[in-house]
Structure 1
Amino acid sequence: MTDEQHAQNQVHDQEQAAAAEALNDQMKRRKEERDLLEKEGVLPYPYSFDVRNNACDIKKEFRDDAEEQVSVAGRIMAVRKMGKASFFNIQDSSGRIQVYIKRDEVGADAYRIFKLLDIGDIVGVEGYSFKTRTGEISVHATSFMLLSKSMRPIPVAKEKEVDGKKVTYDAFSDKELRYRQRYVDLIVNPEVRDTFIKRTKIVAEMRSFFAEQGYLEVETPILQPIYGGAAARPFTTHHNALDMQLYLRIANELYLKRLIVGGFDGVFEFAKDFRNEGIDRFHNPEFTQVELYVAYKDYYWMMELVEQLLQRTCIAVNGTDEVEFLGHTISLAAPFRRLTIADSIKEYCHVDITGKSEAELRNMAKDLGLSLDPKISSGKIIDEIFGEFVEPRLLQPTFITDYPVEMSPLAKQHRSKEGLVERFELIVGGKELCNSFSELNDPQIQRERLEEQARLRQRGDDEAMVVDEDFLRALEYGMPPCAGLGIGIDRLVMLLAGEDSIRDVIFFPHLKPE
């Protein structure tokens, strides 16, 4: 460590120590205030309050010619304590509103109690709406009630004027801290709520779309004795009573197909899935996807359904079928471009993977500058080439179709192209958003595919699938032709909300320990 780095670390440590001391002082003062309130007979944490209005509606419904009685509750976010009258702002789930409180109206005892309150405390206010001399719609308090004493100060952004411009400082803007303390993030950065409200609208719109088609929403096991339906490493756990190892599901595909075997024509599930993989801007080990399976359909039909679904959902939540994402305007207006995976690699890498052996593919990857694990097979090599050189360049919605059979052991063999399967991935904004197959329903071929996956596991591919005998037994009873689809909800929310990290669309993303 250089002397300069050592000095920087010392300064950082001193700043941290000073911040900790200041925090302790504030918490100590708040504890003393709480004790005083209790001596005054004030409950710092009462049981309820009759809320009849919110900040947004009070402002929206205000009329100059009518005095409206209101009852509103929220967190104190700013306060200007004066002599016999004060102003403070409260924030509820709809927004902020100013409150005016006067000693002569609420009483000397109540006003003294008000002066013991802090930014961050939650209060209930009764009074009437009015407009101040500056034209701000506010609440004139006739009574108030402490609802929750905040023992820890919330970060409060401050503004100062620099060269005639307002500059914000001390904002709660550190990304990692915001993810770790999402509850604080939501308090002091209320615009964050908009993303999660949009997430709820997206799921509701998709659920409505599927229901209109007559598909049944179902629930399937999260704890599974055999994991399957995707190429991924699972999380494992142990069931004490049964003395058996179980896995958190990596996908719900195989259970939903069992329901198609059982006679349902269309089933879907919004599922929490878990994959024991790395964490980055687009991956979280716990994530949400919706899977849909429809009998008697194929992947051509499913492409059209996806176009309708995404365009409708985008319009429903954003009012338009265009979104701004990572500095690009992306159109979700149908139809989307369609391109085979071989043609996409030929277009962007100027090499032809068609009919090439594993050794030839490995040499191609090497010539392109890829360093590959010697244990991976042909399908993984193609996937690496596509993921590195093609996928990031596909900004507008593009169906990538017709994958090598080895990459898609659960998909039906292509009806006219030897060695390929009927599969598509929808790439938008440079990342996979959807995955779909004409589902394999021949139990003999499915067994051969899963046994080949088992051989790949023996070669060292720990993401290869395992043989699921019960699923094979279900197929032996007969599954009709079927189209399946999986859509990553977190990535869809990222796209429609214009967020560049999956952590910004998950309330509590996984992080390294503090």
Structure 2
Amino acid sequence: MSEESRDGLEAVRAEKLRKIADLGIDPWGRRFDDHRAIAAVRALEPPKPVEGETPEPGPAVRIAGRIMLRRGQGKVVFLEVRDWTERIQVFIGKKQVGDAGWALVDLLDLGDLIGVDGALGYTKTGELTVFATALTFLGKSLTPPPEKWHGLTDQEVRYRRRYVDLYTNPESLQTFLGRSTIVRTFRKVMEERGFVEVETPTMQAVAGGAAARPFVTHHNTLDIDLFLRIAPELYLKRLLVGGMERVFEIGRVYRNEGISPKHNPEFTMMEAYQAYGDYHAMMDLTEALICASIGAIGGGYERPWGEKTIDFTPPWPRRAYLDLLREHAGVDPDDFEAVKARAEALKIETKGRDRDVIISDLFEATVEDALAGPVFVIDYPAAICPLTKRKASDPRLAERFELFVDGIELANAYTELNDPYLQEDLFRSQLAGQKEEDSMAKMDDDFVQALKNAMPPAGGLGIGIDRLCMLLLNRSSIRDVVLFPLMRPQTSRSSAGAAADGEDESEI
């Protein structure tokens, strides 16, 4: 659709808006109390029509929503009205709504918001319908909706104009309502298990808690650079030192890295820390959180994922990292020459790199995609886990797990390292060779000082909320479960119009 056509349609709707105002009606609506969700109205049971008999009057109802379809002519009009719970048909007759109501009907467009008072009943064809007795205008849509209400089909436009995507694509709205249910369930489970929700800084003087490139900002008054957090971990552990024994936080973290179907630079995590626990306690907690979420959104443990089905029935298997590497890479991790040869065959750089870093890259290349899951991968090489307690039985290994489902990492957890001397040594060894712009390129001395006040032995857990929602709600891209994913800004209205017409724009 050309810019001129869009302007023309908007002008027609703007004229209708003026005429609505001329009727003495506020075209932007007012408070509309006591309306019921359409799903609740549909759950009512009005009398069924009996052939040859006058229908009994149904219950009086009041609804509000957006006009999605319109048909009819003469003195009778049918509308489909939708709110965020359901849709329902509305019958409007001139006799029933009077001259004033009928004057408004002529000015209604698809996309407008209206309130309807009426009686619930059935048409002769048996369709549940609200028979209107009064209309209340609640808002004018000046922009025409997608043609024929098929909804936005161009993926980029759906992400860019989420406000249209939500009201034209019911499955998109249900996805985000499902996401809210999952997050609400997380909070409920955590509260039931004695955890308290806290908030920690999102702007930090030292970026830490994960290996990632941070976003940098500047505080003018203090004249210092700050980092948008890449993880809340080190602050949450400070709370363990302070005596808050079970804490969690659900919030945004920021990593200045690529954009892909599995990664948005701004994403949501839940991190939790439990004093006197370990990584086994975190496995139990992870399983409980995800299984409770499945129960809350419904659909059972066997869930569709694209063309596959994933069975989340607990308990989930726990597999050792090195055993999986032997199985899928076909090498003995203790045979470093064999590991190097296999890595080089896969074009993984080995020169001058630490043994366990090479093993980590080899694991990523050969094992992760083979993990159908859900499966807990446990006991990682200690050298790649600088915040994790070592296994007493084998200090080369760290008490860490990652949860994988169909090759996607959903959760990461440790038995937390609480030895301040070892933590300082590991920080220093990790900092060696770090690029200035990378995270953890600066020692967090205050965190080490905090550990010297005695942090209790603890288990810690991080779960990626966005990726979990992708899997449980069967959405192939992280952008489908993030309301407003990062996009390249559009430079003009014409480019926005081109995208709206389905022309592909490369934003990455």
TM > 0.5: yes
Alpha-carbon distance in structure 1 between the residues aligned to 2:78 and 2:277 = 64
- Structure 1 residues 244-393: aligned runs within 5 Å: 244-354=224-334, 356=336, 361-367=339-345, 369-372=346-349, 377-393=354-370
Q: Which residue number in structure 1 is paired with residue 66 of structure 2? A: 75
Alignment counterpart, residue 214 of structure 2, candidates 223, 234, 237: 234
Question: 1:62 touches 1:137 (CA, 8 Å); kept in 2?
Answer: no
Q: Which has the higher contact order (CA 8 A, sep 6+)?
A: 2
Q: Which residue number in structure 2 is paired with residue 454 of structure 1? A: 431
Question: 2:343 touches 2:350 (CA, 8 Å); kept in 1?
Answer: no
Over 3 Å counting, the alpha-carbon distance change for 1:40 and 1:52 in structure 2 is closer
CA shift digits 1:170-190 (9 cap, x unpaired): 642111110111110111101
Aligned residues: 482
Alpha-carbon distance in structure 2 between the residues aligned to 1:276 and 1:227 = 12
SS at match of 2:187: helix
Percent identity between the aligned chains? 41
Alpha-carbon distance in structure 2 between the residues aligned to 1:463 and 1:348 = 31
Q: Which residue number in structure 1 is paired with residue 161 of structure 2? A: 181
Q: Which residue number in structure 2 is paired with residue 440 of structure 1? A: 417
Alpha-carbon distance in structure 1 between the residues aligned to 2:30 and 2:371 = 54
The one-letter code matched in structure 1 to 2:201 is P
Alpha-carbon distance in structure 2 between the residues aligned to 1:109 and 1:298 = 70
Over 3 Å counting, the alpha-carbon distance change for 1:56 and 1:418 in structure 2 is closer
Give the deviation of 1:19 after TM superposition.
3.4
Alignment counterpart, residue 424 of structure 1, candidates 401, 407, 413: 401
The one-letter code matched in structure 2 to 1:501 is S
Q: Which residue number in structure 1 is paired with residue 53 of structure 2? A: none
Q: Which residue number in structure 2 is paired with residue 12 of structure 1? A: none
Alpha-carbon distance in structure 2 between the residues aligned to 1:301 and 1:40 = 66
Q: Which residue number in structure 2 is paired with residue 91 of structure 1? A: 82
The one-letter code matched in structure 2 to 1:23 is R
1:135 matches 2:126: yes
SS at match of 1:107: helix
Runs (4+) of structure 1 exceeding 6 A deviation are none
- Structure 2: unaligned runs, 5 residues or longer: 48-55, 491-508
CA shift digits 1:91-116 (9 cap, x unpaired): 11111111111222322243122101
Q: Which residue number in structure 1 is paired with residue 505 of structure 2? A: none
Q: Cα RMSD over matched residues?
A: 2.0
Q: Which residue number in structure 2 is paired with residue 155 of structure 1? A: 146
Over 3 Å counting, the alpha-carbon distance change for 1:375 and 1:84 in structure 2 is farther
- Structure 1 residues 203-214: aligned runs within 5 Å: 203-214=183-194
Range with greater deviation from structure 2 (311-320 or 401-410): 311-320
SS at match of 1:118: coil
1:476 matches 2:447: no
CA shift digits 1:387-415 (9 cap, x unpaired): 22211110121211222222111001221
Q: Which residue number in structure 2 is paired with residue 485 of structure 1? A: 461
Alpha-carbon distance in structure 2 between the residues aligned to 1:63 and 1:40 = 34
Question: 2:350 touches 2:358 (CA, 8 Å); kept in 1?
Answer: no
SS at match of 2:463: strand
Q: Which residue number in structure 2 is paired with residue 21 of structure 1? A: 4
Alpha-carbon distance in structure 2 between the residues aligned to 1:91 and 1:393 = 43
Q: Which residue number in structure 1 is paired with residue 442 of structure 2? A: 466
Q: Which residue number in structure 1 is paired with residue 391 of structure 2? A: 414
Give the deviation of 1:83 after TM superposition.
1.1
Question: 2:340 touches 2:350 (CA, 8 Å); kept in 1?
Answer: no
The one-letter code matched in structure 2 to 1:47 is R
Question: 2:62 touches 2:118 (CA, 8 Å); kept in 1?
Answer: yes
SS at match of 1:434: strand
The one-letter code matched in structure 2 to 1:482 is A
Give the deviation of 1:81 after TM superposition.
4.1
Question: 2:203 touches 2:228 (CA, 8 Å); kept in 1?
Answer: yes
1:57 matches 2:48: no
Q: Report the TM-score, using the length of structure 2 for normalisation.
A: 0.90
Q: Report the TM-score, using the length of structure 1 for normalisation.
A: 0.89
- Structure 1: unaligned runs, 5 residues or longer: 1-17, 159-169
1:215 matches 2:198: no
Q: Which residue number in structure 2 is paired with residue 494 of structure 1? A: 470
Q: Which residue number in structure 1 is paired with residue 116 of structure 2? A: 125
Q: Which residue number in structure 2 is paired with residue 166 of structure 1? A: none
CA shift digits 1:165-209 (9 cap, x unpaired): xxxxx6421111101111101111012121112112212222222
CA shift digits 1:439-481 (9 cap, x unpaired): 11110000011001110305x8935553100000000111111
Alpha-carbon distance in structure 2 between the residues aligned to 1:311 and 1:408 = 28
Give the deviation of 1:371 after TM superposition.
4.1
Question: 1:375 touches 1:461 (CA, 8 Å); kept in 2?
Answer: no
Alpha-carbon distance in structure 2 between the residues aligned to 1:338 and 1:479 = 28
Question: 1:284 touches 1:510 (CA, 8 Å); kept in 2?
Answer: yes
SS at match of 2:333: coil
